[in-house]
Structure 1
Amino acid sequence: MNFLENDRRYCRTYSNLEASVQKELSFYQQKAKEWAEHEDFLLALQVNEDEYKKDGQLIECGCCYGEFAFEKMTQCSDGHLFCKECLVKYAQEAVFGSGKSELSCMESGCPCSYPVCELEKVLPENILCKYYERQAEEAVAATCADELVRCPFCNFPALLDKDMSLFSCPNPRCRKESCRKCHVQWKQHVGKTCEQVLERDEIRMRVLFEERMTAARVRKCVKCGTGLVKSEGCNRMSCRCGSFMCYLCREAITGYNHFCQHARSPGAPCRHCRKCSLWTDPTQDDERIIQEIQKEGEAELNKKCSGQGSSLFVSRLSPHPSPFLH
């Protein structure tokens, strides 16, 4: 390794090097060449930026308003310039967030998008792959809305013919079979209609209260009906369709005037108004509602059932009835 690291000349005089040593030597030489080229590239960028700064030709980013050399900028189809770092952050929020995956121009009022060549040149591989994945998912959802079915247990999407009632989840971590219409597991549904399955008090009430517990955590978009789950951030939730809603009262909103504007201690109620709070802990809010619904379900079943059936139902009611909630 000492010979390889210091690139000793006399180590090359050996003509009968073992294949493994020769392979290591070639690998090191290739890496050294790549490192040298990268250092030259960074030096050229720095010299170029110094020349831009000296001549007063740095370009202002339309998003963060920092000044950069032209080589560090990217542009939309209409020519609006932004720094590459802003585009990476914008794309990361778009593809991993709950909003639209479409990367439209960050310039206000510009309807253009970013060319694919610009995205492939700027975005890291993981963000670019997720962007293509989201684009394909939204295209399928838009064109095959009637055939797109989501597993009631893990929310995994799949296409299913309209005539098919049995839905076999293709998610390798789930693989559960359920009814497309009533979402009951297929082993409890075989040979029966949805009405006959739901006639059983245990199943009907379990499904009812599990749906209520799920609804306590999942918010439905007031415009497109997409399920939204909050893990962190403020109570102004945005959907990929472009609409906004309040996480607490679930009403459609536009700006921040819907929320309380008075100063107060974190977590303390406002003494001046009854508006929703902009910042609350979603875990505490949802767990409290879910526990109330669970207790109500246990009490309701105790009135109608007795013995083993009641115990079975109560044990299956949990604060997290579906993996979709996580």
Structure 2
Amino acid sequence: MESHCKIHVKEGNLMQLACPDTNCRNPLPPSVLKSLLRDDGYAQWESFALQKLLDAMPDLVYCPRCSAACLEVDNDAQCPGCFFTFCTLCKRRRHVGDTCITPEEKIRILKERQKLYSIPEEQLLKEKREIDELINIQEALRDSKQCPRCKMAISKIEGCNKMTCGNCGRFFCYRCNKAIGGYDHFWNGNCDMFEREQDENPQQQDDENFGGDPDEDAELLEPEWVLLTYPCPNCGRRNEKLGTNNHILCIGCRGHYCALCRKRVLRGEQHFGPRGCQQHTED
């Protein structure tokens, strides 16, 4: 446990400092961490924990002059250390009523100023670092989304659009970038749980290889197991029926739907009945 905690503190991965019991996984209390990490490791953990707490605060920014922590109010902030009032978007002096510049415009202005004016070496290095930081942020956000709570940039490699921020633990939708609580967001028809690959030209098919009947052509193309499964209207995963029961539980998104009408089933007794779909039919 001592080696385990020291490694994760050294890497700054505080989420792994939890009880090793898989049925528990609660965060280790500070008293246990202090006995395992000793004074130096515990001080480093306190520093990381404080920084993680500050980074998770959406209304906390840092002063561009002295780097002190400031509270943001309507995209403006005043430093408690040097009393500098600045815009939290462009990090320049507060400009009420004026439109803030975009990162692209800021990069262009900084580069033009370096060409036109003789800037001291210290200021020049500072502006170059600022340009590199803006470019890196643009590249990071090109293929990623920011967490709606802590603004951490997160990229999706695979899987569904329900994302969990590794920094603050917030759930959000990767498609619309809104904070969500669970999978209900994807059942309301707002966003798809999985990205669906759509053919841009679905009608461009070789008619010479098919007989012209869409149903017959589909049977020729699809294997036998596909014809015996039913796609989920939410995530697109194909699931099998249990016997003759048309009430299907999707293995992928855990949603309930009807095999006959492909609609979501909230209550089986309401959907299946004299005025609805038949719950049991032969394939």
**Fold-level similarity (TM above 0.5):** no
- TM-score, with length taken from structure 1: 0.32
Q: Which has the larger radius of gyration?
A: 1
- TM-score, with length taken from structure 2: 0.35
The structure with the largest helix share of the pair is 1
